[in-house]
Structure 1
Amino acid sequence: MKKLIFTLVIGFIGFAANAQTKVKQPQKIDNKTVEIACGECQFKMKGKDCELAIRIDGKPYFVDGKGIDDFGDAHGKHGFCNAISKAEVTGEIVNNRFKAKTIILLPEKKKGE
Structure 2
Amino acid sequence: MKNLIFALVLSIFAISANAQVAPKKAVTSKVITKQVVDVACGECQFKMKGKDCELAVKIDGKSYFVDGKNIDDFGDAHGEHGFCNAVSKAEVTGEIVNNRFKAKEIKLLSNKK
Q: Residue 37 of structure 1 aligns with which residue?
A: 40
Aligned counterparts of 2:112 and 2:64: Cα–Cα separation in 1: 24
Q: Is the 8 A contact 2:38 2:58 kept in 1?
A: yes
Give the TM-score normalised by the residue count of structure 2: 0.76
RMSD: 1.3
Q: Which residue of 1 aligns with 2:75?
A: 72
Partner of 1:96: 99
Task: Please tell me whether Structure 1 or Structure 2 has the larger radius of gyration of its CA atoms.
Answer: 2
**In 2: Cα distance, 1:28 partner to 1:54 partner:** 14
Give the length in aligned residue pairs: 91
- What 5-or-longer segments of structure 2 have no aligned partner? 1-22
Aligned residue identity for 1:107:
S
2:68 is aligned with what amino acid? G
CA distance in 2, matches of 1:22, 1:40: 27
Q: Runs in 1 of length 4+ with deviation above 3 angstroms? A: none
Unaligned runs of 5+ in 1: 1-19
Distance 1:94 1:61 in 2: 10
Matched residue type, 1:35: D
Indicate yes or no: 2:60 matched with 1:57.
Answer: yes
Identity of aligned residues (%): 74
Alpha-carbon shift at residue 22 of structure 1 (Å): 5.5
TM-score, structure 1 length as denominator? 0.76
Between the aligned partners of 1:51 and 1:75, the Cα distance in structure 2 is 12
